[in-house]
Structure 1
Amino acid sequence: MFQDVLLESGAQISDNGIVQTFGNDEEALKAADSGCAVIEMSHFGRLRVTGDDRLRFLHNQSTADLLQLKDGEGCDTVFVTNTARTIDLATAWAMNTAVILLVSPETRHDLIKLLNKYIFFSDKVEVDDITEKTSYFSIVGPQSDNVMRQLKLESLIDKPYGTHVHYTANGAPVTVGVGSGLCTKGYSFLVSTAAAGPVWTSILKCGALHMGSLAWERLRILQGRPVPGKELTDEFNVLEAGLWRTISQTKGCYIGQETVARLITYNGVKQHLHGVKLTGAVEPGTILTTRDGVKAGKLTSCTREAPYFGLCYIRKQCGGPGLEIKIGDGSVTGILVQVPGLARELSSGSQTVT
């Protein structure tokens, strides 16, 4: 079993099956920065959408132009409410007979219910949860290409984000895609449970260092990837969340489209998600103020160890990168900084991905 392989590698696994750490968080983060780390992410959701209308259906449910995707292509897209409030940032892989959605663990079940709610009698669409039938992990870091070459997967190097190909390992299916969900160079592996152990072991033999969810949490905060329950809630819209790159400028109507168009046309975005360097640890949800005591926003995420870093929503009128802020009672202060995962405006053309 794959879990036995992980335990042999030193994995500490929570009661709900999440690999918390391999006891090497600092080393794994260094590998992601200068080498290559492999992250066990099987607690993330995998949904398989099939039927002749699958692309049209998903196109109408999220922000990206999915109708443009051909077999073997992919992109990031955001599911939003009819008022453009954020639900989840997902990756879509278009295949010959299906679309695979890689979604956050917090939204997996809710997204299935949401998608099924909008399937009408005449729609040729089915949504299946394949999370328990598969495993999922990613490699990140500047040496990811070297690992791919050793795995004989060099055909994916330098291909566009979301490009994916199918292989077999020990006779079991494996899909490998460009991108890790972070801004760091990387690749994702969707594998059958039978192939998970051998593929994981092969990646480690190629020089990648294993990473658990605690280190990934720090990495995603540093890079500015928003997640459900923290940055992605019904309190914030998709533009405020800095996910402009996932929004198509050319597609037609989709859930939340009218609100998004109105916000862009009338410059209606009132706050932005920022990175913030902190002088100490802070609880998410803490109110932030300017040095003059003006309420500026709210902290949504914070790293557990020094150097402390967080993500926060700040009112646009208060300022942007370089702004000094006070957190809570002022015993901790911070300064806003840019992070690579967030955008403030639409790119030229249709949606792009990081």
Structure 2
Amino acid sequence: MTQALRELQSANGATFTTVADHTVPDRFGNEAEVWQAIETGVVLHDRSHWGRIRVSGDDRLRFLHNQTTNSMQTLQPGQGCDTVFVTSTARTIDLVSAYTLEDAVLLLTSPGYNQKLIQWMDRFIFFADKVELEDLTERTITFSIMGAGSDALLEKVGAGSLVGQPCNNHLLLNINGIETRIAVGCGLALSGHTFFVEADRAADLWKQLIASGAVPMGEQIWEQLRIQQGRPLPDRELTEAVNPLEAGLWYTISLNKGCYIGQETIARLHTYRGVKQQLWGIKLNQFAEPGSSIVANGQAIGKLTSCTQSQNGYFGLAYIRTKALPSELAITVNEQQGELVNVPFLTHEYP
């Protein structure tokens, strides 16, 4: 069902890569144009490899409220939030965006995590629970636009009513005959919006967005942005070795919502300021392999989780022992100097 989309993207100059068993554009050969569009215009990124789950049934909000870190039960149709699935000991599984519909909740998961989360949630659905799970990943497509001109593009396609609304608010709209759900936010700390469409209309929507001025962006630059912004990814920064507070995902955590899986551990960490490590950005002089040790004053104080070439050298993400901070600490990675820096997606302070 995505063949027409891939042919259209190929005509736009795409070369492809495989992520989570999905073929997606890696590059469009327009890197300089993309970086300029992020600053002054708008880019279009294919997120079809991200998972989409529909959670329905009368108990859906209560169920998700009890399964994840953010407050869900007060959400009204058209609203949404980011939230984290965690284990009973508050170890991270995935950061998801949740969108409340009239009769369901739509979850946007990390690539390859749709079936993993369905299997996880299914363990906690009991006989009397009115909750149903449906994997929409193969039937639907997700695109995100981002950049300074994203609001202007929304106006062009007739979705200007979303401009200025809170992150994850969303509407079901008709864009030149294409039924599309549009949400505020693009998955990064950039101005942007996310589009959900049936797979058989995805090529038509892509064409409309390109015609409206969006510059196509591949997975390679998205990964660079992800690391520079500090968005943690499962199997890299989000593992069962860390909790959401360590991962800097404070904004996804409700401290007064009551009981949920992992709540006791998170409450204890918050009350007693027990966060032992924190996720930071690191400027580097050269590439370093993820897993490399971060060293200060001759001692290992952390571990690199991701690294990419940036427009100004190299940039990585790393967990740093809290007791080893402050941020101006002189560090080395593989005997090369580095600098700890704040990244916009993460928070280190206790509220």
Normalised to the residue count of structure 2, the TM-score between the two structures is 0.95
* Cα displacement (A) at 1:204: 1.2
Name the SS for the 1:231 alignment partner: coil
The amino acid that maps onto 2:109 is: V
| 1:336 counterpart residue number | 340
Name the SS for the 1:128 alignment partner: strand
Map 1:1-354 onto structure 2 (within 5 A).
1-15=4-18, 16-169=22-175, 171-290=177-296, 292-304=297-309, 307-328=313-334, 330=335, 332-347=336-351
Name the SS for the 2:313 alignment partner: coil
Identify if the C-alpha distance between structure 1 residues 231 and 59 changes in structure 2 by more than 3 Å, giving closer, same or farther.
same
CA distance in 2, matches of 1:312, 1:31: 28
Contact kept? 1:41, 1:136, Cα under 8 Å: yes
Contact kept? 1:79, 1:89, Cα under 8 Å: yes
- The structure that is strand-richer by fraction is 2
How many residues are matched?
Answer: 344
Identify if the C-alpha distance between structure 1 residues 84 and 190 changes in structure 2 by more than 3 Å, giving closer, same or farther.
same
Task: Compute the RMSD of aligned alpha carbons.
Answer: 1.3
CA distance in 2, matches of 1:334, 1:346: 26
* Cα displacement (A) at 1:25: 2.9
Contact kept? 2:158, 2:175, Cα under 8 Å: no
Contact kept? 1:28, 1:209, Cα under 8 Å: yes
| 1:350 counterpart residue number | none
| 1:352 counterpart residue number | none
CA distance in 2, matches of 1:274, 1:206: 37
CA distance in 2, matches of 1:109, 1:29: 34
Contact kept? 1:163, 1:177, Cα under 8 Å: yes
* Cα displacement (A) at 1:212: 0.9
CA distance in 2, matches of 1:321, 1:196: 44
Deviations 1:326-346 (A, max 9, x none): 112x0x221000111001235
The amino acid that maps onto 2:343 is: V
Q: Percent identity?
A: 47
Deviations 1:101-159 (A, max 9, x none): 00001322211100111111111111111010011010111111111111111100000
Contact kept? 1:289, 1:295, Cα under 8 Å: yes
Deviations 1:305-348 (A, max 9, x none): 552001100011111322221112x0x2210001110012354x
Deviations 1:170-218 (A, max 9, x none): 6553100000111101000001112211211111122211111111000
* Cα displacement (A) at 1:14: 2.5
Identify if the C-alpha distance between structure 1 residues 18 and 217 changes in structure 2 by more than 3 Å, giving closer, same or farther.
same
CA distance in 2, matches of 1:252, 1:43: 34
Name the SS for the 2:186 alignment partner: coil
Contact kept? 1:245, 1:346, Cα under 8 Å: no
Runs of at least 5 residues in structure 1 that lack an aligned partner in the other structure? 348-354
Moved more, 297-306 or 62-71: 297-306
Identify if the C-alpha distance between structure 1 residues 40 and 206 changes in structure 2 by more than 3 Å, giving closer, same or farther.
same
Deviations 1:18-67 (A, max 9, x none): 22111223431332233211111100000011101111101111000011
Contact kept? 1:174, 1:195, Cα under 8 Å: no
Contact kept? 2:159, 2:173, Cα under 8 Å: no
CA distance in 1, matches of 2:326, 2:140: 42
